[in-house]
Amino acid sequence: MNGSYSTARGDAKFHAPVPRSRGFGDQLRVWWREVDKWLLGMVLVLMAFGTVAVAAASPAAGRQYDVGQFVFFQRHIVFQLLGLGVMFAVSFLSRDNARRVGIMMAAVMLFLLLLVPVFGTEVNGAKRWINVGMSLQPSEFLKPGFAVLLAWMLSWRLRDSGLPVVAYATLTMALVGALLMLQPNLGATILFGGVWFVLVTLSGVSFQRIGALIALGVGSLTAAYFLYDNARYRIDSWIGGGTAFDQVDLAQRTLLNGGWTGTGLWLGTRKMNLPEAHTDYIFSVIGEEFGLLMCALVMLVYIAIIVRVLIRQVNEDNLFALLAGAGLATQIGGQAFINMLVNLQLFPSKGMTLPLVSYGGSSTLAVCFTVGLLLAITRRNPFLERDKSGLKDLFAGKEDRA
């Protein structure tokens, strides 16, 4: 007999069989059953295409930085492989552990963000990096942690409806925004503000309070225009249409040079005069060498990622998971669309990369970490039924309070 049993007299013992610990094969099967395969597939498609796009932009970047033509492409391959490792490792986390890791990441990066104005490294007039054995931009890794932290705060209202969770989230946003504007980094501030607005809106606040939040955002942007010379210069340049020497104008000309179908890989010419062709303006390189149709397809993939996450969250019965998933998707989608709009000269220049596509070191690892958290939080056992309607309940409650 496997084990024994115990009696009151203690003359015999019985031990229940100990459950067999799961090996990696079992964990992998559970992960594959629960992970959102459509979301994972679209992310991998973007990363694969990003590798080709960086290969196209690498000669222009090599010329700008006076290095070999394919140095940035080779480095990108390394960072992509590291990023994939980070993404899959994080996606194996349980939902609770993903929440803990996200909050811990937010706390560490907020601390480093406090140190940037004092100990940071200045590049092109902005102090955004800090040396921690390697050059690190804390705001990049703060993005996923910020979404998870705010989702956690706003989910407290389920425990105590009297807690001022919106005020806590707003104070956190004010702290992050102030630290970012000290660098200054208006683009990241706008992105963080967008994530904050989406999460506060989804948390169930009334439409009157949403109007007040919109007014607060407009007021903050107006203040940034008058208080920060860099922000005012970029906005004025965007409104005035720029000149032939502006990066955004060069980017638009490069993007349109390939027409609908593009010039072909490594056959683009305007990209050679485009600064940061491999990072901020890689979307323009895609337009020149692969065509406007490919640009539209890339845009559709980002839209599909956002829609897929929202569809996944419609029936989610865990408020934290609902808010965190929506926040992480907003962060990825918001950054992507800001980058594309800048390349189309429809938005002021922000120095923001195209997530999953652009070349990057710490930025690539940060985006892959974000996707890993998103995959972990949206994991779902397909055999468990849910009684609540997730987003539907939130909006129904909001209509009742309006």
Average pLDDT of 223-247? 62
List all residues 6 or more positions away from 1 whose beta carbon is below 8 Å from its beta carbon.
none
β-partners of residue 121 are 129
- Rounded CA gap, 384 and 387, in Å? 10
Over 80: is that where the pLDDT of 266 sits? yes
List all residues 6 or more positions away from 150 whose beta carbon is below 8 Å from its beta carbon.
169, 172, 173, 195, 196, 199, 200, 323, 327
Confidence at residue 98, expressed as pLDDT on a 0 to 100 scale: 94
| Mean of the per-residue pLDDT values of the chain | 82
Average pLDDT of 181-190? 85
Confidence at residue 292, expressed as pLDDT on a 0 to 100 scale: 93
Residue with the larger pLDDT of the pair 4 and 307: 307
- Rounded CA gap, 79 and 367, in Å? 11
Confidence at residue 390, expressed as pLDDT on a 0 to 100 scale: 55
Of all residues in the chain, the percent with pLDDT exceeding 70 is 81
pLDDT digits (tens, 9 = 90+) for 110-152: 999 998 888 877 776 677 888 776 778 889 999 999 999 999 9
Over 60: is that where the pLDDT of 11 sits? no
Confidence at residue 232, expressed as pLDDT on a 0 to 100 scale: 66
Confidence at residue 384, expressed as pLDDT on a 0 to 100 scale: 64
Residue with the larger pLDDT of the pair 176 and 240: 176
Confidence at residue 224, expressed as pLDDT on a 0 to 100 scale: 66
Confidence at residue 241, expressed as pLDDT on a 0 to 100 scale: 57
- Tokens representing 291 are 């065509």
Over 50: is that where the pLDDT of 72 sits? yes
Average pLDDT of 306-329? 89
Q: Cβ distance 324 to 147 under 8 Å?
A: yes
Residue 156: C-alpha distances to residues 14, 167, 316 (Å): 44, 12, 17
Over 70: is that where the pLDDT of 235 sits? no
HEC-encoded secondary structure of 97-149: HHHHHHHHHHHHHHHHHHHHHHHCEEECCEEEEEECCCEECHHHHHHHHHHHH
Type of residue found at 230? N
Q: Cβ distance 224 to 181 under 8 Å?
A: yes
Confidence at residue 394, expressed as pLDDT on a 0 to 100 scale: 55
Over 90: is that where the pLDDT of 352 sits? no
What is the pLDDT confidence band of residue 206, given thresholds at 50, 70 and 90? low
Residue with the larger pLDDT of the pair 401 and 32: 32
- Rounded CA gap, 276 and 289, in Å? 16
Confidence at residue 26, expressed as pLDDT on a 0 to 100 scale: 80
Confidence at residue 39, expressed as pLDDT on a 0 to 100 scale: 95
β-partners of residue 126 are 123
- Tokens representing 322 are 């609902």
What is the pLDDT confidence band of residue 5, given thresholds at 50, 70 and 90? very low
Over 50: is that where the pLDDT of 89 sits? yes
List all residues 6 or more positions away from 49 whose beta carbon is below 8 Å from its beta carbon.
298, 357
Confidence at residue 201, expressed as pLDDT on a 0 to 100 scale: 86
Q: Cβ distance 147 to 327 under 8 Å?
A: yes
Instruction: Name the pairing type of β-strands 121-123 and 135-136.
Output: unpaired
- Rounded CA gap, 53 and 348, in Å? 23
What is the pLDDT confidence band of residue 233, given thresholds at 50, 70 and 90? low
Residue with the larger pLDDT of the pair 241 and 99: 99
pLDDT digits (tens, 9 = 90+) for 319-331: 899 999 999 999 9
Residue with the larger pLDDT of the pair 259 and 43: 43
Confidence at residue 291, expressed as pLDDT on a 0 to 100 scale: 92
HEC-encoded secondary structure of 289-355: HHCHHHHHHHHHHHHHHHHHHHHHHCCCCCHHHHHHHHHHHHHHHHHHHHHHHHHCCCCCCCCCCCC
Lowest mean pLDDT among 105-109, 204-208, 265-269: 204-208
What is the pLDDT confidence band of residue 244, given thresholds at 50, 70 and 90? very low
Taking CB atoms within 8 Å and a gap of at least 24, the contacts of 66-74 are 72/278, 72/359
Q: DSSP string spanning 204-244?
A: T--HHHHHHHHHHHHHHHHHHHHH-HHHHHHHHHHHHT--T
Over 90: is that where the pLDDT of 79 sits? yes
Confidence at residue 230, expressed as pLDDT on a 0 to 100 scale: 62
Confidence at residue 2, expressed as pLDDT on a 0 to 100 scale: 47
